[in-house]
Amino acid sequence: MRHFNYIKAKGIFTACVISILCLTVVHTPARDEGTGIKFFEGTWEEALKKSGSENKLIFLDLSTSWCGWCKKMKLNTYSDKKAGEYFNSNFINVELNAEQGEGQRLARKFGVTGYPTVFLIDQNENALLTSEAYPEADELIKLIKTAVKDRK
C-alpha cells in the first residue's frame, strides 16, 4: 500500500509540473526581440528638432507606471513586427511618463484624462491626433495611417 501511495503522489506531481509548463508556453506571447517600435532615447526638445530635420511627425505615447493597459500595449502592440516596421520608418517615436517632467507638462497641455494616450505631434508641438485607448497593432496602424492621410 505504501508503494502505491508513492507512485500515486509522484504521478500527481508530474502531472502538475507538465500542466504548469504547458500553461506557461501557451500564455507566453511569441515576440521577436528587436522587431517592434523603437523609441527615441533623447530629450523631448531633441525629438522636436529631429522631427523638423527629418520632416517626420512624432508618435508620442504618454503612459504611467501603474497603468495596466499601458503595460499590455507595450507588451503586445509596441512589440509587434508590423507596428515596428511602420512606425520606425515613418515617425520619431517617443515614450514619456505622464507623471514626470516633459510627460507631465504635455499631459496637462493636451488635457489627458486616461491612459494609455497616444498622439501624432508636429515639430511645433501641435497635436494632430489624440487617442485614449488600447488598440492592437493592426488597429493602431490603421488609426495613424488614417490621420496621416487626412492631414495631407
- What average pLDDT does this structure show over 28-35? 53
Contact 80, 88 (CB under 8 A): no
- What average pLDDT does this structure show over 17-31? 43
pLDDT in tens, 60-119: 999 999 999 999 999 999 999 999 999 999 999 999 999 999 999 999 999 999 999 999
Q: Residue 29: what pLDDT?
A: 44
Looking at per-residue confidence, does 52 or 18 come out higher? 52
Q: What is the pTM of this model?
A: 0.76
Cα-to-chain-centroid distance, residue 39: 10
Q: Residue 35: what pLDDT?
A: 86
The second-level CATH assignment, the architecture, of 44-151 is: 3-Layer(aba) Sandwich (3.40)
Q: How crowded is residue 142: how many other Cβ atoms within 10 Å of its Cβ?
A: 12
Q: Residue 151: what pLDDT?
A: 76
Domain boundaries defined on the chain: 1-30, 44-151
